[in-house]
């Protein structure tokens, strides 16, 4: 029973990690607390869901459309809500407010579109295949989800630390002005950054939509709050930190629901956040909160 | 090669440049000297497109570049080594150099370029896999110059390269600049260390409170009693 719950926790937690990655990526480079990340996630899930409902696309295509949809929404968000502020050199606080506004607009649009309904992926979107392994019931979907998240993280790390595009992103994260003096186009970097962030959120959206069997306009908001916990626990701007903290939160949440009560889950998660902040204010993997950036692993 | 005509720049509400004109010829070292806050860095940043010009013209190879995006100016071959070195400290020495090359939009083999930089500053070759934030100030300055060179600039702008460096390192950096210039590189040098700058450069201008107050051959300015009085300190003039 415990092992079964742990497994469920790992599956949910890895998706939390994926969601938080996109959030921490933008924070690490642009120092924006993107409060609209939950809305991007929701629109990614919507893109995947509508592709399935309207065009009957299979699971992998739905994921892809969720990724591209989330990525495009995120890029537009950057153009509308953040780029004008960057141009004027506005303080970071302005972009938080701007993202809250953008988030509300995106939520209202989704609410109008769906008439506040809760929607579901068709049951046959993913074949139900169950393996029995040492008394553990493992669904194929669970394996696939953990595998996808694992691949996404490896891919992201490779992109950031082993390609020239990643080098440009890390350079802009360290100093946009110096990067421009060298010839790096900050618009291109931000385009990639917001697309990546949105694509990760979109994939997380489709996966969460399938796992919890529900897609609705408010689905991103509880995740956004948990993503805060995840990236603060993991250390702001740290990619492995986001993943590890995501797993931790997923496991704690699942175990609390299973053994204590569903209502206590968030209370426990946030208590844990307080505790960690008291003992290690920079998070579990953060080297120092003030200079947290994706430039460092 | 680089011509500034009547350039005015307001920076944070203050007139930092009030009608500056100067011209850097191909193949020369031109130095802009002056006290702190005279507008030297603003001049470079306006040329690099980091701060907008209010009026006046900036011509690079005869083409007006004011108003153009900073990264396009760099890609056109006007590359600045900013004040305080500004190496991307979480990247290794080799990564910083690669960055300088890719950022300027250059493709193809990098081996020969990087060898040239390592030949100019051998210490960088020894430290190639170290994080650049761990280098000493002098090594970071060498890396910042090397990184700019990787972009194959047609004109190199340097903002206070001697700042905070030990005299022996300053000598090494300036010797490298002279070697680069003999190899055909045009250099616009901004310096507070006026004597060193005038000894290095062919032509010079003195800027004070956003205006050019003297201009001429560096060797003439070095003998000018007014310049000497202002910038070298009286003791050296008498000696």
Q: What is the rounded CA–CA span in Å between residue A228 and residue A236?
A: 9
Range of the domain at B110: 87-153
Decide if pLDDT at B89 tops 70: yes
CATH at B48: 3.40.50.300
pLDDT at B108: 62
Question: Does residue B69 sit at the A interface (CB-CB below 8 Å)?
Answer: yes
Q: What is the rounded CA–CA span in Å between residue A194 and residue A187?
A: 11
- Residue B215: φ, ψ to 5°: -155, 145
- Three-state DSSP at A215 gives strand
Whether B169 maps to a domain, the answer reads yes
With beta carbons under 8 A apart, name residues in chain B contacting A186. 71
For residues B223 and B123, state if they share a domain: no
pLDDT at A291: 38
A13, A125, A136, B5, B191 from B23: Cα distances, Å: 62, 69, 78, 8, 17
With beta carbons under 8 A apart, name residues in chain A contacting B70. 180-181
**Which of B136, B153, B170 represents a domain boundary (last residue)?**
B153
Whether B59 maps to a domain, the answer reads yes
Compare CB distances from B90 to A168, A180, A295 and report the shortest one's residue.
A295
**Alpha-carbon distance B41 to nearest alpha carbon in chain A (angstroms):** 13
For residues B182 and B72, state if they share a domain: yes
pLDDT at B11: 78
For residues B159 and B231, state if they share a domain: yes
Question: What's the Rg (C-alpha) of chain B?
Answer: 17
For residues B180 and B73, state if they share a domain: yes
- The model's pLDDT over B26-57, given as tens digits with 9 standing for 90+, comes to 999 999 998 888 899 999 999 999 999 999 99
Please answer yes or no on whether A178 and B69 come within 8 Å at the CB atom. Answer: no
- The model's pLDDT over A123-166, given as tens digits with 9 standing for 90+, comes to 888 888 999 988 889 999 999 999 999 999 999 999 999 998 99
Residue B58: name the closest of B16, B104, B8 by CA: B8
CA A62 to chain centre: 17
For residues B162 and B229, state if they share a domain: yes
For residues B165 and B233, state if they share a domain: yes
Stretch 169-208 of chain A: residues touching chain B, C-beta under 8 Å:
170-171, 174-175, 177-186
Decide if pLDDT at A297 tops 50: no
Q: Which residue of B has its CA nearest to A185?
A: B71
pLDDT at B125: 96
pLDDT at A286: 63
For residues B160 and B57, state if they share a domain: yes
Whether B82 maps to a domain, the answer reads no
With beta carbons under 8 A apart, name residues in chain B contacting A295. 88, 90-91
Q: What percent of chain B has pLDDT over 90?
A: 74
Compare CB distances from B105 to A167, A181, A183 and report the shortest one's residue.
A183
**Which of B135, B153, B171 represents a domain boundary (last residue)?**
B153
Question: Does residue B147 sit at the A interface (CB-CB below 8 Å)?
Answer: yes
Q: How many CB pairs under 8 A join A and B?
A: 76
Q: Which residue of A has its CA nearest to B44?
A: A181
Query: What is the largest distance, in Å, between two alpha-carbon atoms of chain A?
Result: 60
Other Cβ atoms closer than 10 A to A293: 17
Give B16's contacts (C-beta < 8 A, 6+ positions apart). Answer: B9, B10, B39, B42, B210
Residue corresponding to tokens 């908001």: A221
Whether B33 maps to a domain, the answer reads yes
Residue A274, token pair as written in the block: 């307080």
* Structural domain count of chain B: 2
Alpha helix ranges (H) inside chain B = 40-47, 70-75, 93-103, 111-120, 122-126, 137-150, 167-182, 194-200, 218-223, 225-231, 234-238
Residue B182, token pair as written in the block: 């003999």
Cβ(B42)–Cβ(B10) under 8 Å?
no
Please answer yes or no on whether B74 and A293 come within 8 Å at the CB atom. Answer: no
For residues B121 and B176, state if they share a domain: no
Please answer yes or no on whether A183 and B95 come within 8 Å at the CB atom. Answer: no
- The model's pLDDT over A81-135, given as tens digits with 9 standing for 90+, comes to 999 998 888 888 899 999 999 999 999 999 999 999 999 999 888 888 999 988 8
**Alpha-carbon distance A12 to nearest alpha carbon in chain B (angstroms):** 33
With beta carbons under 8 A apart, name residues in chain A contacting B74. 180-183
- What crossing angle do the helices spanning A220-234 and A37-55 adopt, rounded to 10°? 130
Whether B184 maps to a domain, the answer reads yes
- The model's pLDDT over B173-198, given as tens digits with 9 standing for 90+, comes to 999 999 999 999 999 999 988 999 99
Please answer yes or no on whether B100 and A182 come within 8 Å at the CB atom. Answer: yes
Q: What is the rounded CA–CA span in Å between residue A118 and residue A163?
A: 41
Decide if pLDDT at B106 tops 80: no
Residue A202: name the closest of A115, A73, A111 by CA: A73
Question: Does residue B91 sit at the A interface (CB-CB below 8 Å)?
Answer: yes
- What's the whole-number mean pLDDT along residues A37-51? 97
- Three-state DSSP at B207 gives strand
For residues B105 and B10, state if they share a domain: no
For residues B205 and B133, state if they share a domain: no
- What's the whole-number mean pLDDT along residues B192-213? 92
**Alpha-carbon distance B35 to nearest alpha carbon in chain A (angstroms):** 24
For residues B163 and B233, state if they share a domain: yes
Secondary structure of A173-194 as H, E, C letters: HHCHHHHHHHCCCHHHHHHHHH
Do the strands B63-64 and B55-60 form a parallel or antiparallel pair, or are they unpaired?
Answer: antiparallel
Stretch 184-223 of chain B: residues touching chain A, C-beta under 8 Å:
none
Residue B166, token pair as written in the block: 């030990």
Q: Which residue of A has its CA nearest to B86?
A: A178
With beta carbons under 8 A apart, name residues in chain B contacting A177. 50, 82
With beta carbons under 8 A apart, name residues in chain B contacting A174. 88-91
Q: Which residue of B has its CA nearest to A160?
A: B91
Decide if pLDDT at B227 tops 70: yes
- The model's pLDDT over A12-36, given as tens digits with 9 standing for 90+, comes to 999 999 999 999 999 888 888 999 9
**Which of B138, B153, B168 represents a domain boundary (last residue)?**
B153
For residues B103 and B57, state if they share a domain: no
Which residue ranges form the domains of chain A, and what is each CATH number? Answer: 2-120+129-291 (1.10.3470)
């Amino acid at each position: 029973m415990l092992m079964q719950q742990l497994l469920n926790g790992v599956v949910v937690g890895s998706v939390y990690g994926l969601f938080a990655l996109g959030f921490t990526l933008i924070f690490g480079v642009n120092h924006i607390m993107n409060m609209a990340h939950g809305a991007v996630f929701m629109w990614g899930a919507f893109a995947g869901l509508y592709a399935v409902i309207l065009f009957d696309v299979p699971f992998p295509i739905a994921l892809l459309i969720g990724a591209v949809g989330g990525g495009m929404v995120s890029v537009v968000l950057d153009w509308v809500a953040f780029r004008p502020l960057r141009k004027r050199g506005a303080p970071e606080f302005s972009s938080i407010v701007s993202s809250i506004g953008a988030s509300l607009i995106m939520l209202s649009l989704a609410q109008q579109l769906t008439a506040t309904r809760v929607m579901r992926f068709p049951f046959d979107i993913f074949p139900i295949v169950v393996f029995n392994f040492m008394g553990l019931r493992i669904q194929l979907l669970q394996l696939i989800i953990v595998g996808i998240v694992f691949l996404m993280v490896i891919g992201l790390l490779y992109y950031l630390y082993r390609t020239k595009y990643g080098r440009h992103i890390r350079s802009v994260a360290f100093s946009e002005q110096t990067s421009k003096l060298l010839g790096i186009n900050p618009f291109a970097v931000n385009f990639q950054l917001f697309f990546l962030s949105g694509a990760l959120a979109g994939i997380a959206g489709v996966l969460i939509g399938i796992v919890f069997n529900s897609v609705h306009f408010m689905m991103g908001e509880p995740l956004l709050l948990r993503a805060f916990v995840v990236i603060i626990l993991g250390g702001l701007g740290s990619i492995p930190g986001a993943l590890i903290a995501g797993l931790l939160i997923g496991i704690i949440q699942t175990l609390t629901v299973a053994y204590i009560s569903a209502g206590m889950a968030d209370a426990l998660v946030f208590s844990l956040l307080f505790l960690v902040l008291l003992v290690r204010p920079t998070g579990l993997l953060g080297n120092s909160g003030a200079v947290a950036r994706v430039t460092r692993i | 090669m680089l011509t500034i005509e009547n350039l005015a720049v307001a920076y944070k509400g203050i007139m930092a440049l009030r009608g500056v004109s100067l011209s850097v010829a191909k193949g020369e070292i031109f130095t802009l000297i002056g006290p702190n806050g005279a507008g030297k860095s603003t001049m470079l940043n306006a040329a690099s497109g980091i701060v907008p010009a209010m009026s006046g013209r900036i011509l690079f190879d005869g083409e007006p570049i004011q108003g153009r995006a900073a990264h396009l100016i760099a890609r056109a071959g006007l590359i600045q080594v900013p004040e305080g070195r500004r190496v991307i400290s979480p990247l290794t020495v080799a990564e910083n150099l690669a960055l300088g090359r890719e950022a300027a939009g250059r493709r193809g083999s990098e081996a020969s370029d990087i060898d040239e930089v390592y030949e100019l500053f051998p210490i960088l070759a020894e430290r190639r896999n170290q994080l650049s934030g761990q280098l000493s100030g002098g090594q970071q300055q060498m890396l910042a110059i090397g990184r700019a060179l990787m972009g194959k600039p047609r004109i190199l702008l340097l903002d206070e390269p001697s700042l905070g460096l030990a005299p022996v390192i300053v000598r090494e950096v300036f010797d490298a600049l002279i070697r680069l210039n003999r190899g055909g590189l045009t250099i616009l040098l901004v310096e507070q260390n006026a004597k060193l700058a005038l000894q290095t450069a062919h032509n010079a201008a003195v800027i004070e409170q956003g205006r050019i107050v003297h201009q001429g051959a560096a060797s003439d300015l070095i003998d000018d009693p007014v310049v000497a009085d202002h910038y070298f300190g009286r003791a050296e003039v008498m000696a």
